[in-house]
Chain A
Amino acid sequence: MKSLALISVVITGWLLLSAVGDFPYWGDPNSPANSYRLSQHFVTETFHETAVPNMVTAVLADYRGYDTMFETVVIFTAGIAIISILRVFRSDDQVASGQTVYEKRPDLIVDTTCRLMIPIIQLFALYVIAHGHHSPGGGFQGGVIFGASFILIALSRDLQAAHKWVPENRVLNLAGIGILIYAGFGLVAMFLGQNFLDYAILHKVMPATPIEARYHSMLGVEIGVAFTVTAIMYSIYSNLVSKGTMKEGL
């Protein structure tokens, strides 16, 4: 059986490696991805059409907003799947009988360092979310960093300490609200008579020109993405680390 697996892996690897020769060179201006007129349009016209300097964010949140919305839904679904598999609802004594309950005291040095670091991490996460138009970043990265700050609270002290800030029902509400914010921008555009997620029409409901409306709507959907990603990242961690009981962490 093992030799069969080795043979199939070698054949697949050989096929993949033989395909590498057909790839265009890195940064080749004549490669199909670079010579197609849509790429040219994104590179030259993004700033005039949306007033966003970082064209990666513009493509992600505006031109391909539909794609990004369902990426957020994928993360939401992954979180829901992990909760439905791992989360256990049992009474306290049943859980305590099988496990050794230990008292965890926060270490002085670890606790002080995390006290200093966590506000800075959260501020940086907000900067990454809000400044995603001008510099690398956006809802996904900022949301992950923001969720990591709550994970750091849970790691340095206890899962219960983190639950004071992010109780379970609030986490799940946040995850849903994030997607609703994103879809809400699309629905408002639809009610105003344009296509789903066509932000330019939103200048009717916000004090901005059509170009600025696209800029501000992108910030709005990034905030929605950040809500969902933050909530789901923390939810996955707390379910994994406590075996679904939400009682105690590492």
Chain B
Amino acid sequence: MIWQFDLIILVFLVITAIISLQVKDLLAASMIYGVYSFLMCLLWAGMAAVDVAFTEAAVGAGVSSVFLIATVFRTSRRSSD
């Protein structure tokens, strides 16, 4: 693991986590959640856990984002709180 890459990924991880919780537009929140999953996937790959990284890329960044976006399209676009 190269600590400079690690630092960049971890900082972006915290930023995306906060943004996806705070943003009012639910579609944008789902997209940023996908970015969060992809950054987690990079972290797993950096720790040589390639199986976990593969699962995170396929399930977390891929299919979960699609499920969330499909749900947003069938409910309301913006959150009320």
Contact = CB atoms under 8 A, between A and B. Distances in A.
Do A and B pair up? The answer is yes
A100 B74 CA distance: 13
Main DSSP-derived SS at the A contact region: helix
A250 B70 contact: yes
Nearest to A239: B70
Interface stretch (A88-96, A140-148, A165-173, A214-222): A140-148
A26 B47 contact: yes
Contacts, number: 51
Interface residues of B, number: 17
Interface residues of A, number: 23
Interface string B13-31: 0000000000000000000
A148 B60 CA distance: 12
B15 to A, nearest CB: 17
B interface: dominant SS: helix
A136 B51 contact: yes
B59 interface: yes
A140 B67 contact: no
A243 B55 CA distance: 27
Contacts of A54: 51
Interface of A: 26, 54, 56-57, 128, 136-138, 140-141, 144-145, 147-148, 151, 155, 233, 236-237, 240-241, 243, 250
5 closest cross-chain pairs (CB), A and B: A241-B70, A136-B50, A144-B58, A240-B70, A56-B51
22 contacts: A26-B1, A56-B51, A136-B51, A137-B51, A137-B54, A138-B51, A140-B59, A141-B54, A141-B58, A141-B59, A144-B62, A144-B63, A145-B62, A148-B58, A148-B62, A148-B66, A237-B63, A237-B66, A240-B70, A241-B70, A243-B74, A250-B70
